[in-house]
Chains A and B, each alone.
Chain A
Amino acid sequence: MTMRRAVFGLIGAAAFAAPAFAQDLAYETIEKGRALVIAGDCVACHTPPGAKPFSGGRAVETPFGDILAPNLTPDRATGIGAWSDEEFVRALQQGVGRDGEHLFPALPYTAYTKVTRGDLVAMRAYLNTVEPVHNPVEPNQLPFPFNMRFLQFFWKALFFTPGEYQPNPQQPADWNRGAYLVEGLGHCASCHSAKNILGGDKAAMEGGTLQNWFAPNLTADRRVGLGAWSEDELIEYLKTGHTARSAASGPMAEVVEFQTSKMPDADLKAMAVYLKDIAAAPAVKATPLAADRADMQAGAALYADNCSACHVGKGEGVARLFPALAGSAVVQSDDAATLLRMVLQGSRSAATDAAPTAPAMPAFDWKLTDAQIAAVVTYARNSWGNAASAVGAGDVKTMRNALKN
């Protein structure tokens, strides 16, 4: 090697060294951001089925009308490529758009406000790396008067408390990590908390109804909540979508597929620790309906002929394949929306790397009348130790019509 060659070599190496160091930092931030974007399940709303990731346009159904999730790709014209980090952080922490407009809480900034600035900047860094897609989206599809953005000012005053998550010093680190994920990025309360008439949260984590699904109570209530679940079961559910007693389907199947199954085990454990510590409201004393009622008798016949082949004779189910109905929160919840639509329309459970089978429940809307579905559902809600209110044929009819639209 000549002297000259060596010198050029050294200059070349120096020229690469500085950017390489910066790139490592960026790589770490981007990977951290990727994990956080998964934990925030951003893809669920911002990617319509079959579309490019984060290209926007999927309708988020709210009780007030549809809101289309915007394009989050780095496209400068139609995505968020032209946004500054500050604007991105402000949108998620304060629900304020790039031009200072109030955002609709379909973007769950009531939860994302708890996410730290550092985490949000990392998420932004990751989103900058996805493929830019030119896809103009007008989010506001709401009817008058809900489409008036300035009204959000009053809504925020009533229902929005901005502020990053403040760790509870009385609790261990994993509890705090769990709370940060559950209440912040995971935005579990968006579905699992009931909404008041204006769409604000009430009765935190005691279950909520949306898009004709009922997201069950996540408090420690033994009958309708997570009281009977162990931490390990919760972790298994979030990781695989299936446990000995339950299976994720509907919107929760998407959550498991896109979000929780891809999260690190330590985060799932933290979420389970926190979820197991959410106190229940005082339990309502529930007594099963008498087995000799006409609907219970018909329900028993319907159950034996239509349901027992998978869910087994006494509602015990088959572990990790067919959910148990005995002791099920979905079955016993006051709001039978999920149960009814399961019977009417069926559903496919989550498919994850750990549990790829994804068994599906078949539809029975073509086979059973409203009265028959009411009877079989009432029977399942009041057998094998279950206790819940009766479901009427009118409830079934309402759900049947809602699913047709």
Chain B
Amino acid sequence: MGSSRAPRGIRRRDLLTSTAAAFFVFGAEAALGRTVKGGLPWAPDSVVPPTPVSAVGWYFFTALEGAAVEAICDRLIPPDDGNPGGKQAGCAVFIDRQLIGSYGAAERFYMRPPFATGTPQQGTQTQFSPAEQYRRGLAALDRYCRDGLGGKGFAELPAAEQDKLLAAMEKGEAQFTGVNPREFFELLLQNAMEGFFADPLYGGNRDMAGWKLIGFPGARYDYRDYIGQHNKPFPLPPVALQGRPEWIGR
């Protein structure tokens, strides 16, 4: 035996001795219990307040791109009965501000190759960040419109033609160069909805238009006074992180 024994994992004796040694080195200290008393740490002025975005101008889009995205949002969420549509609710502003930030740069996505085509359930597998997808997608859309639809940009098309083109994109039938039209449509639809329902602080959902439309009460977190009142509408208007008009002086 002896040296003829090939290494074959941990021997029982080694395990026991090393465990005992580890206990004496580390275990004795770590095994001691400790009673923690007193309140949790608290310090004044430790709030990190959210910063409202600016409401004017484009930060990511060119004027042409901005106009196209506004037009798209207004067809995805058209104005009706005095309710503002996607454009008036600021959805394009919301998207613009997101694209200059961490979302646009895909900071939270895994962005390394290989870039394979996934199943629909696996979502977009693109190598392009959202900012790049918009730049490329809007360029492809503009080229498609100018080459095939009478030399006009998307924003200048009549509403019916815009709807037709968007429907073709959704079905993957519009022939864009270098861009998957269906993927780009899905991205637009997703972001337009986010802009319509996110807190107004982020540039969309202006005057809480989206929340008013669906009866969402906003940034509230306690309904004890109302929870027993069945089949009655909730009486309070929606409230945003920065308040509502009744708060005066904002």
Are chains A and B native binding partners rather than an unrelated pairing? yes
Chain A interface residues toward B at CB < 8 A: 257, 294, 297-298, 301-302, 304-305, 308-310, 312-313, 345-351, 353, 356, 358, 360, 362-363, 365-369, 371-372, 375, 403
Return the contact of B224 from the options A304, A313, A369 (Cβ within 8 A): A313
> Shortest Cβ distance from B188 into chain A, in angstroms?
33
Stretch of B43-51, B69-77, B133-141 that contacts chain A: B43-51
B246 and A297 contact, CB distance less than 8 A = yes
Return the contact of B248 from the options A257, A294, A366 (Cβ within 8 A): A294
Return the contact of A353 from the options B37, B220, B247 (Cβ within 8 A): B37
Nearest 10 A/B pairs, CB to CB: A351-B39, A309-B222, A358-B39, A301-B246, A348-B42, A366-B49, A371-B249, A313-B225, A298-B248, A305-B239
A363 and B44 contact, CB distance less than 8 A = yes
> Shortest Cβ distance from A380 into chain B, in angstroms?
15
Q: Is B250 an interface residue (CB 8 A)?
A: yes
* Smallest CB gap from A313: residue in B: B225
A348–B249 alpha-carbon span in the complex (Å)? 29
Binary flags per residue of B231-250, CB closer than 8 Å to A gives 1, else 0: 00000100101111011111
B246 and A367 contact, CB distance less than 8 A = no
Q: Which residues of chain A are near B236, meaning CB under 8 Å? A: 304-305
A358 and B225 contact, CB distance less than 8 A = no
Interface residues on B, range: 20 to 34
Return the contact of B243 from the options A294, A305, A350 (Cβ within 8 A): A305
Binary flags per residue of B33-58, CB closer than 8 Å to A gives 1, else 0: 00001111010110101000000000
In the complex, 15 of the A-B residue pairs with CB atoms within 8 angstroms, ordered by the A residue number, are A294-B248, A297-B246, A301-B246, A301-B247, A302-B243, A305-B243, A305-B247, A310-B222, A345-B45, A351-B38, A363-B44, A367-B243, A368-B247, A371-B249, A372-B250
> Shortest Cβ distance from B31 into chain A, in angstroms?
25
> Shortest Cβ distance from B228 into chain A, in angstroms?
12
* Smallest CB gap from B217: residue in A: A305
Return the contact of B47 from the options A298, A366, A371, A375 (Cβ within 8 A): A366
B42 and A372 contact, CB distance less than 8 A = no
* Smallest CB gap from A366: residue in B: B49
A369 and B249 contact, CB distance less than 8 A = yes
B250 and A369 contact, CB distance less than 8 A = yes
> Shortest Cβ distance from A262 into chain B, in angstroms?
12
B221 and A358 contact, CB distance less than 8 A = no
> Shortest Cβ distance from B230 into chain A, in angstroms?
18
> Shortest Cβ distance from B49 into chain A, in angstroms?
4
A349–B219 alpha-carbon span in the complex (Å)? 26
Q: Which residues of chain B are near A297, meaning CB under 8 Å? A: 246
B250 and A309 contact, CB distance less than 8 A = no
Chain B interface residues toward A at CB < 8 A: 37-40, 42, 44-45, 47, 49, 219-222, 224-225, 236, 239, 241-244, 246-250
> Shortest Cβ distance from B220 into chain A, in angstroms?
7
Q: Which residues of chain B are near A301, meaning CB under 8 Å? A: 244, 246-247
Q: Which residues of chain B are near A372, meaning CB under 8 Å? A: 243, 247-250
A372–B239 alpha-carbon span in the complex (Å)? 15
A313–B224 alpha-carbon span in the complex (Å)? 8
Q: Which residues of chain B are near A353, meaning CB under 8 Å? A: 37
Return the contact of B44 from the options A302, A310, A346, A369 (Cβ within 8 A): A346
Q: Which residues of chain B are near A257, meaning CB under 8 Å? A: 38
Q: If the complex has contacts A346-B44, A362-B47, A363-B44, are A302 and B247 also in contact, measured as CB distance less than 8 A?
A: yes
Q: If the complex has contacts A309-B222, A367-B49, are A298 and B38 also in contact, measured as CB distance less than 8 A?
A: no
* Smallest CB gap from A361: residue in B: B42
A372–B249 alpha-carbon span in the complex (Å)? 7
A301–B239 alpha-carbon span in the complex (Å)? 10
A347–B236 alpha-carbon span in the complex (Å)? 29
Return the contact of A363 from the options B45, B219, B250 (Cβ within 8 A): B45
A148–B243 alpha-carbon span in the complex (Å)? 52
* Smallest CB gap from B222: residue in A: A309
A312 and B224 contact, CB distance less than 8 A = yes
Q: Which residues of chain A are near B241, meaning CB under 8 Å? A: 367
Return the contact of A360 from the options B42, B220, B248, B250 (Cβ within 8 A): B42
A356–B40 alpha-carbon span in the complex (Å)? 9
Q: Which residues of chain A are near B39, meaning CB under 8 Å? A: 348-351, 356, 358
A301–B38 alpha-carbon span in the complex (Å)? 36
Q: Besides the contacts A308-B225, A360-B42, A367-B242, what 13 more A-B pairs have beta carbons closer than 8 Å?
A: A297-B246, A298-B249, A305-B219, A305-B244, A305-B247, A310-B222, A312-B224, A346-B44, A348-B39, A356-B38, A363-B47, A371-B249, A403-B44
* Smallest CB gap from B242: residue in A: A367
Return the contact of B40 from the options A313, A345, A358, A368 (Cβ within 8 A): A358
* Smallest CB gap from A364: residue in B: B47
> Shortest Cβ distance from B212 into chain A, in angstroms?
16
* Smallest CB gap from A294: residue in B: B248
Q: Which residues of chain A are near B244, meaning CB under 8 Å? A: 301, 305
